Chain A
């Protein structure tokens, strides 16, 4: 296990690859020993490049990679000994599940007893039915089973850092749900320092102790779910975390009135009005940021009822803006709905969205 540090790491590609290989700009990130960081971002944001730099499969143009404070920037991947799990499993096809797990011990000439013990420990943790998989050839395993073996193979040799690149995106929804619980428990139990790359924000929230959001080679923000959700650094992070995505309304503030172009206005509470500059602003609203039954009339286009959350989402429009509003599960479908921001749940950004002005506080529930 190790602490991993990226110190002002930049990556520039030149030549024919330059357009397809996402670059990185001055990335600063510290993974604490035993921590799982989930890296999310849209395709091409550089998240896989970051993973390759940590593994040693790429060398940064500038900056350093440190394991436990030691500079490993120039160290070969084999010497770094990281564990990697990919989308496509990469199991040794000629070996049974157990052979895949024990291969490392054979190559590194560890004792049979040590190998047996590690394999047994991991297979117990992997849960019901895993020992059956150990006796099968990879070609007879389903996608989910292959990935369980691939993950177990990595865990069994106790790597200093564990790198996972979209490991379960090929599985169907129900299998994904089960596999990610197994993975999370395993990572918690062994406290392996892990970087988990995904494009799915909900998976990132589930897997990560902290979440790093990337865009265009830049690390936009690193933090816990609460930090990103309630105190996003900018519009991009705010929009990326949370479903349905945050809606942004271009508004104009003059003293205590906040006007939405062509629709109407709301009155700001005095203390909030004092904290915000006059002029153009971007108002960020999550589905649960709205109060219903007062304010401006929104046109309702559909209601999506989600019994598992005991809630429903109204999709509609406020003038030219699309909005999503969280309402009680049994709310009837009406043509219009009155909406007004709950000011302590609203987000304010500069008109460009690049800088946040005011966010809700992280709620203190206990």
Chain B
């Protein structure tokens, strides 16, 4: 079976500016794709082109093999959920949910069956007679979702549907969206600026920046094998810590050297960095790859530790996130996540931290591309 949704070289120009530039991807049947990126990265424009709400400057969109570039939105058989819900204030909840069916001349007998069913899925069957202004934000959001499920579409699109909700509501709304997805198992695209939402929902995630698609992959791929510095930084909260280091080969061993530390690189990484001896590179360390020396799952020595001054301790249910600066000058800020609660008495103190060097990421200082991606180079030793 070929991919139901195919986007090829999609480009959009607005008044001389390029909002979306040569974006290509495809969705498998029943796949849930989350699209993330900072404001202005082109993610919403991409979604709106798929929905037919924006024209396409060049490139092609195919839904189940049919090119839809020139097809009007209402003829595309797409269901969309908007950030501001876009429900009609003058219609009851029932009529809002029924709207898409009525406009497609679905017989009343079917509407009477489907509307309550969709309402039940989102626990709003008791609200069918109300007007939107009598509803809370969470309830309005569920009306918008019910309206999307009430009819079977070939593609479901979500434009930041949860960003107006309180944190506690967002969690249950996420489950509602997954429930909707499992009901029809149709391709879905979900746009958000919140990477944790994307990680929780997406089978795969597409990361965009400046109109370009930076990387597409499973949450785990993006997290552990980011293609470049931007993707590494964008995925994960707290963000990955980035340090400018110099690589040095010495007596068959390689080190990443920084005023605050001198880390011995593991063979997995050494095999990839042969061309970078005595060069500056960007090193990434995820906050969760720091630990207190006593709790480290590996032997700790001077070549995998760093001294940090504790600035802020954030308690979490699963431990704590600690924000530090390197003890060595110039001070560089970084974050470490612990499985235990760091007591407040350590505020302002200098503590040693063990670094899980197997998990380090390295990026070219100029191109910002990952050095660890792709083919392994032949390992050649450089004598010091």
Contact = CB atoms under 8 A, between A and B. Distances in A.
B223 A307 contact: yes
A286 B175 contact: no
B312 A308 contact: no
B100 interface: no
Given A188-B312, A305-B219, A308-B288, A181 B333 contact: yes
Interface in B307-350: 311-312, 314-318, 323, 333, 337, 339-341, 343
A172 interface: yes
A109 interface: no
B39 A172 contact: yes
Contacts of B318: 288, 309, 311, 326
A245 B171 contact: yes
A62 interface: no
A242 B317 contact: yes
Contact of B193 (A172, A188, A240, A308): A172
A68 interface: no
Contacts of B224: 307
Contacts of B339: 310
B167 A202 contact: yes
A347 to B, nearest CB: 13
Given A199-B166, A201-B168, A315 B311 contact: no
A226 B315 contact: yes
B178 interface: yes
Interface stretch (B107-115, B230-238, B276-284): B230-238
A302 B318 CA distance: 20
- Identify which of B167, B182, B220, B287 gathers the most chain A CB atoms within 10 Å of its CB: B167
A241 to B, nearest CB: 9
B286 interface: yes
A365 B288 CA distance: 19
B340 A365 contact: yes
B196 to A, nearest CB: 8
A205 B315 contact: yes
B349 to A, nearest CB: 14
Contacts of A290: none
B296 interface: no
Contact of B168 (A226, A239, A308, A315): A239
Interface residues of A, number: 45
Given A177-B237, A181-B333, A245 B317 contact: no
Contacts of B21: none
A174 B239 contact: yes
B31 to A, nearest CB: 15
Interface string A253-283: 0000000000000000000000000000000
- Identify which of A43, A172, A307 gathers the most chain B CB atoms within 10 Å of its CB: A307
- Identify which of B195, B196, B312, B317 gathers the most chain A CB atoms within 10 Å of its CB: B317
Nearest to B175: A315
A327 B328 CA distance: 38
A90 interface: no
A225 interface: yes
Contacts of A132: none
Given A172-B39, A286-B317, A177 B239 contact: yes
Interface of B: 38-39, 137, 166-168, 171-172, 175, 178-179, 182, 193-196, 199-200, 219-220, 223-224, 233-234, 236-239, 286-288, 311-312, 314-318, 323, 333, 337, 339-341, 343
Given A172-B39, A184-B312, 14 more contacts: A173-B194, A177-B238, A181-B312, A185-B312, A199-B166, A200-B167, A202-B167, A243-B168, A245-B171, A306-B200, A308-B288, A309-B288, A309-B337, A322-B175
21 contacts: A43-B166, A172-B38, A172-B193, A174-B233, A177-B238, A200-B166, A205-B315, A229-B317, A243-B171, A245-B168, A245-B172, A306-B196, A306-B200, A307-B220, A308-B236, A308-B286, A309-B288, A311-B318, A315-B175, A322-B172, A322-B175
Interface of A: 42-43, 127, 172-174, 177, 181, 184-185, 188, 199-202, 205-206, 225-226, 229, 239-240, 242-245, 286-288, 301-302, 304-311, 315, 322, 326, 363, 365-366
10 tightest Cβ-Cβ pairs between the two chains A and B: A225-B315, A304-B200, A172-B193, A206-B314, A173-B194, A307-B223, A184-B312, A244-B171, A365-B341, A200-B167
